[in-house]
Chains A and B, each alone.
Chain A
Amino acid sequence: MSTQVRAAGMVRMVRWERWLHLLLPVLAILASFLVGSLFLWALGVDPVTAYSALVKGAFGNSRLATTTVLKSIPLIFAGLAVTLAYRGGVFNIGAEGQLYLGALFAVWAGTRLDLPFPGHLLVALALGILGGMIWGAIPGYLKATRDMNEIIVTILMNYIAIFTVSYFVHGPLKEEGWNTQTDAVAETARLPALWAGTRLHYGVVLALLCLVLVYVLLFHTTLGYRIRMVGANIHGARYAGIKTTWIMALAMALSGGLAGLAGAVELLGVQYRLIDNFSPGWGFDAIAVALVGRLNPIGVLIAALFFGALRNGANSMQTAVRVDVVVIYILQGLAIVFLIAGSSVDNRIRRWLDAWQA
């Protein structure tokens, strides 16, 4: 084959690959819904009724659509958190624990400090980032210095975080009275509404800001380049003189900070009072968000909106067809399986094509 023809063929391949790269998550989600409908059908639930309840529950009216966006906000932060760490070769399964710590720190600041408006809010947000950062830095540090597997450490730390928050909610931070919840965050520490009469708050702006920041960090700074290099080829990165362990630890700390922000923004923008199990599992949803979003900030945004809608819609589906909201974990799990299976098949096809063209 002449060089020219081959080059043209490669350009075609590159285009086709790009499309497939973007198409794959969509196909994976479609496949997961298809298998999910078989599962529902086997349980004696009509999938059409179930899914239409889901869609109506997510976007049926402006109130529900607002809730969908609100539920997507923590997913954007946490999805970015998982993405950032993953890009650096660290799988952060601890976003759940980190967002618990972020919420705890933010609530402490919001209920125990007495400051004027913008300052109070900023301090609460900063402490939220700090809380998550500490919780993310620990596994990062342990990986860097003791070679401890971050997956196990982050998972164990999730449980510790959830019980720690429970301790504070039942003990030191508990409000007076019968309810096991903290005091409400002071007005001066709350994220204001975007405009009068909506529940949408400035967390949306903050989430988009973080999205841009993560994008710039990853793709337009030296540090981001190093992070990606460590994630793509750790031996090569080490050979190039990068202190790989510390890059990983740093990526984990930043990732934890983002996850902490997810918890803080939820508390300061929506819930105001911290309770046991305040997160429905955003830290775990975030894994699906990051992977289905193809570890790309824009992809994370789209995936976060999708999974936020899924979680919101599933609540309505629960009342309509009595299928518990945890059904979304099946759909998320299936979507990831189809995605990675699809990627492998994709690689294989590419290899055959390469072999055939050579």
Chain B
Amino acid sequence: MDMDAVVGLLHATIRLATPLLFAAIGGLYNERAGVINIALEGKMLLGALVAFMVAFSSGSPWLGVVAAAASGMLVALLFAYVTITLGADQIVAAVAINLMMLGFTGVVFRLMKAAISGSLSAPTFPEWAIPGLDRIPLLGPVLFRHLPLVYLAFLLVPLAHFVFYRTTWGLSIRAVGEHPRAADTLGVKVRAVRYLTVLWGGAMAAVGGAVLSIGHNSTFIENMTAGRGFIAFSAIVFGKWTPLGTMLASLLFGFADALQLRIQAGILEPLFRSLGIQEVAYQIPVMLPYVVTLVALFFIGKSHWPAAAAIHYDREEG
């Protein structure tokens, strides 16, 4: 493999890690507050559709992203009401929301396709090369020639680190996730913290979905998230509930994705041939991100979940 191919692979790793990173770093907030959120998948899918529809009809990809974030919050609000206020099971509620979003996006997109004749191509983001930095050999083209949303996603990581470990908000969030009753006794509004983090997580997951539809592509495809919400959730677990770890996990999964795309495109064929492998069926590389995620989770072994994860908190209950 030559240098260009390596640069291309690493560039794609960062690009493909971005949607996961938005969903995972956003989800980290509510996870640390004790709300398990496997509805990331559904919110990403909705965000992908809404961003596409709004960008398509308004002509502005930024407006698309904002609308996606709002739609993600709306669904997060439903999730929060059912789980935090009513105390329903977080996993079951998330499964239901994922089903709803799969149906909703499918129905709406097909109706839109039927109503619009001609191309369903939305405006997408221009690449922002960071002047100066993008000229650094190797690092420049890998790190500093990306869509604006990519930089934003990676800026959210130090922000999350700062919020969690350097602010009272972060302390409240972590306290609510570890010992809600103690936090409540100290005057932390447990429900409010959980609501806010779930809303923030929903917005970020939807922005992650927007990256898929109007960042990487310029259109929406049915079920285009294809499990990325679940991989983002796994990134949180694999990253041991820390912002930095979550980012590294997202990059690992992004790398697997970048690699499988290259295998499919036949870029690695000479390598395979030298190993004596003649032909690789496309189904094998497509499985790669899922297999890598499984293997990663296997090796992380027993991980330390937030103590109050998935447990409903009710003041009146003993």
Contact B89–A333 (Cβ < 8 Å): no
Does A146 lie within 8 Å of B302, measured CB to CB? Answer: yes
**A345 interface contact, C-beta 8 A:** yes
Say yes or no: is B293 at the interface (Cβ < 8 Å to chain A): yes
| B234 adjacent to A152 (CB under 8 Å) | yes
Q: Are A148 and B230 within 8 A (Cβ)?
A: no
Q: Is A284 in contact with chain B by the CB < 8 A criterion? A: yes
Assuming the A-B contacts A160-B291, A171-B281, are A334 and B301 also in contact, with contact meaning beta carbons closer than 8 angstroms in the complex?
A: no
Contact between chains at B294 and A157 (CB < 8 Å): yes
Given contacts A156-B290, A330-B100, A340-B82, is CB(A146)–CB(B106) below 8 Å?
no
- CB atoms of B103 and A330 under 8 A apart: yes
Instruction: Assess the B108–A341 pair: CB atoms within 8 A.
Output: no
**Inter-chain contacts of A336 with B (CB < 8 A):** 92-93, 95-96, 99
Task: Kindly state whether residue A142 has any CB partner on chain B within 8 Å.
Answer: yes
* Alpha-carbon distance between A351 and B316 when the two chains are bound, in angstroms: 10
CA gap between A328 and B101 in the complex, in Å:
11
Residue B97 is within 8 A (CB to CB) of chain A in the complex: yes
Number of interface residues of B (CB under 8 A): 48
B contact face: mostly helix, strand, loop, or mixed: helix
Task: Tell whether B91 is near chain A: CB-to-CB under 8 Å.
Answer: yes
Cβ-based interface call for A52 (8 A): no
| Residues on B with beta carbons closer than 8 Å to the beta carbon of A328 | 103
Total CB contacts across the A-B interface at under 8 A = 139
Q: Shortest distance in angstroms between B186's beta carbon and chain A's nearest beta carbon?
A: 26
Q: Which A residues are CB-close (under 8 A) to B104?
A: 39, 329-330
Interface membership of A237, Cβ < 8 A: no
A345 to B286 alpha-carbon distance, docked (Å): 44
Chain B, range 281-318, C-beta contacts under 8 Å to A: 281, 283-284, 286-287, 290-291, 293-294, 297-298, 301-303, 316
| Interface 9-mer from A119-127, A197-205, A258-266, A319-327 | A319-327
Give CA–CA (A291, B95) in the complex, Å. 11
- In the bound assembly, the distance between CA atoms of A144 and B227 in angstroms comes to 24
A93 touches B281 (CB 8 A): no
A344 interfacial by beta-carbon distance below 8 Å: yes
Most interface-central of B92, B96, B227, B234 (chain A CB within 10 A): B96
Q: Is A84 an interface residue (CB 8 A)?
A: no
Say whether A166 contacts B92, CB under 8 Å: no
Asked whether A167 is an interface residue with its Cβ less than 8 Å from the other chain, the reply is yes
If A156-B293, A167-B283, A170-B281 touch, does A142 touch B99 (CB 8 Å cutoff)? no
The distance in angstroms between the C-alpha atoms of A333 and B231, with both chains bound, is 21
Q: B106 and A159: CB pair below 8 A?
A: no
Q: Give chain B nearest CB distance to A78 CB in angstroms.
A: 14
Across-interface contacts of B92 in A (CB, < 8 A): 91, 291, 336, 340
Contact with B along A278-309 (1 / 0, CB 8 A): 00000010011001000000000000000000
Contact of A148 (CB < 8 Å), options: B38, B95, B226, B298: B298
Q: In the bound complex, how far is the Cα of B114 from the Cα of A308, in angstroms?
A: 27
A329 & B103 in contact (Cβ 8 Å cutoff): yes
CB distance from A255 to the nearest CB of B (A): 16
Q: B110: CB under 8 A from chain A?
A: yes
A167-B107 in contact (CB<8A): no
- Contacts A156-B293, A333-B103 given; indicate if A341 touches B86 (C-beta within 8 A): yes
> What mask results when residues 231 to 244 of chain B are scored 1 for a CB within 8 Å of chain A, else 0?
10110010000000
A329 touches B281 (CB 8 A): no
Residues of chain A within 8 A of B91, CB atoms compared: 91, 151
A163 & B286 in contact (Cβ 8 Å cutoff): yes
B78 CB to closest chain A CB (Å) equals 8
Q: Is A149 an interface residue (CB 8 A)?
A: yes
Query: Which parts of A160-187 form the interface with B (CB within 8 Å)?
Result: 160, 163-164, 166-167, 170-171
A153 to B293, CA, bound (A): 9
| A93 lies within 8 A of B95 (CB) | yes
Given contacts A156-B234, A323-B111, A329-B100, 6 further A-B contacts (CB under 8 A): A43-B107, A91-B95, A160-B294, A167-B283, A336-B93, A336-B99
Offer 19 A-B interface pairs, CB within 8 angstroms, sorted by A: A93-B95, A152-B297, A153-B294, A156-B231, A159-B226, A159-B227, A163-B283, A167-B283, A288-B99, A323-B107, A324-B106, A326-B102, A327-B107, A329-B102, A329-B104, A330-B99, A333-B101, A336-B93, A344-B88
Q: 5 closest pairs, A vs B, by CB?
A: A329-B103, A333-B100, A326-B106, A336-B96, A330-B103
Chain B interfacial positions (CB closer than 8 Å to A): 38, 78, 82, 86-89, 91-93, 95-104, 106-108, 110-111, 114, 226-227, 230-231, 233-234, 237, 281, 283-284, 286-287, 290-291, 293-294, 297-298, 301-303, 316
Q: What is the interface of chain A, defined by CB distance below 8 A to chain B? A: 39, 43, 91, 93, 142, 146-149, 151-153, 155-160, 163-164, 166-167, 170-171, 284, 287-288, 291, 322-324, 326-334, 336-337, 340-341, 343-345, 347, 351
